Amino acid sequence: MPTEKINIAIGSDHAGFEYKELLKSYLKDYEVKDFGTHSVDSVDYPDFAHPVASAVESNEFIFGILVCGSANGVAITANKHQKIRAAICWLNEIAALARQHNNANILCIPARFVSEDLARQMTTTFINTPFEGGRHGGRVDKISC
């Protein structure tokens, strides 16, 4: 995995905690900042999705990764931020398309519905897949309100 100047903000709720910890270890060659949670104790996902989204939105981090049970809550929350394009991915191909066609900057992983191996694969794909631009660039430019 190329690591030049790629930094990643990561966060989860209690349902995604174990996958977040797994991905932090997997991403050991990158600069990764953990925005929490820090245990499996029940928490509110917006408390962790907003800080990750803010960190990516401000360009402090290139990418974000958010993990919760279904990935819906963290994606909905992150996408409230104007410069965020958070994509729920459950297949490696969807992670690639989220980057290629949507220039997604936050990967949202549904921990209850994908394997650990698939979570690692999607993370690698998401980080290493460039945005294609072209016709997709005009579409992405129309997303913000």
For residues 35 and 60, is the Cβ–Cβ distance under 8 A? Answer: no
Structural domain spans, the chain? 7-141
Tell me whether residue 145 is one of the annotated catalytic residues. no
Residues 6+ apart with CB under 8 A from 1: 29, 30, 124, 127, 128
| CATH for the 7-141 domain, from 3.40.1400.10, 2.40.40.20, 3.30.70.260, 1.20.1740.10 | 3.40.1400.10
Residue 63, beta-bridge partner list = 8
| Residue 135 clears pLDDT 50, i.e. is over it | yes
Nearest CA-CA partner of 103 in 144, 62, 133, 145: 133
Q: Considering the entire predicted model, what is its pTM?
A: 0.95
Q: Kindly report, residue by residue over 65-114, the tens digit of the pLDDT.
A: 999 999 999 999 999 999 999 999 999 999 999 999 999 999 999 999 99
**CA 138-74-23 angle, 5° bins:** 95
CA 69 distance to own-chain centroid: 14
**Residue 4 binned pLDDT confidence (cut-offs 50, 70, 90):** low
- What is the CB neighbour count within 10 angstroms for residue 42? 9
**Residue 3 binned pLDDT confidence (cut-offs 50, 70, 90):** very low
**Per annotation, catalytic residue among 38, 81, 89, 101:** 101
Tell me whether residue 101 is one of the annotated catalytic residues. yes
Q: How far apart are CA 42 and CA 37, in angstroms?
A: 9
**Per annotation, catalytic residue among 50, 68, 81, 108:** 68
Query: In the prediction, which pLDDT does 145 show?
Result: 84
